[in-house]
Amino acid sequence: MSANTKGKVYLVGAGPGDPELLTFKALRILRAADVVLHDELVGREILSLASASALVRSVGKRCGRQTITQEGINSLLVTYAAAGLQVVRLKGGDPLIFGRGGEEIEALRKAGVEVEIVPGVTAALGAGAGAQIPLTHRNISSALVFITGHSADTHDAKQWRALTASGATLVIYMPGSDYHDLAEKLMAAGVKAETPCALVSGATTSEERTLLTSVRELPMASMSASAPTVLIVGEVVRLAKQQRRVGESLSELLIGQRVAALENAASLAGD
């Protein structure tokens, strides 16, 4: 690319995993990019759509391990754009929903770098579609709240209750692994223990799995859930396509484990 060409940064949503959920615009920009800085969870199928001549680099984190700070990412975006390159910051889901897109926009504006947002299908929509759960329903829930599991630690009880008081469907991104703690926070905020939940992992990918449970049963669900996971909480979950409830399957698993332990103990005693 000519050194006289003005660089630009595109914050592009890669969607929740299925390459066919990329928008035409996202695909066009990805194919024309000089540099692609992507999140760790963006799959190979999507990355393979970038130009063969593009510099493709992971700047994401996985399981809490981060290879580069947010400030470092901001610096890379500014540096590559200042060199006259077309830069794609490729983010899982939508770039402005829990993706630190706002921080990157601020940094780029401060540096005088042109930036454009290309929205993508966020994980909540992919998870709802896969499980056939209408996130809103005129007879059940007319409001929808996106929140992260981390915010359960930073919001006080009054704020947490305000989010749940309306009966809105809650979609919790990055719920973590301590579902016992999360269930307690939900119930302390006024969510009934029998409120149905859906844990959707690997939404829209070949690894997609939906576990139907309730707030009360969430601690048991941690035995089967695997990241990346989205948790949907609300009465709309009762409309999910028919699947085995996680509480039932896990109860059978626990019984099987207890039986095996007893048989093993009896065998050792016999020895």
Q: Which residues are catalytic?
A: 39, 61
Hey, how many other C-beta atoms are within 10 angstroms of the C-beta on 261?
A: 10
DSSP string, 108-144: HHHTT-EEEEE----HHHHHHHHHT--S-BTTTB--E
What is the β-pairing status of strands 144-148 and 209-214?
A: unpaired
Residue spans of alpha helices (H) in the chain: 24-32, 44-47, 70-82, 101-110, 123-131, 151-154, 157-164, 179-188, 218-221, 246-270
Token pair for residue 37?
């800085």
Residues 6+ apart with CB under 8 A from 200: 127, 130, 131, 208, 209, 210, 211, 229, 230, 231, 232
Give the CA angle between residues 113, 114, 120 to the nearest 5°.
120
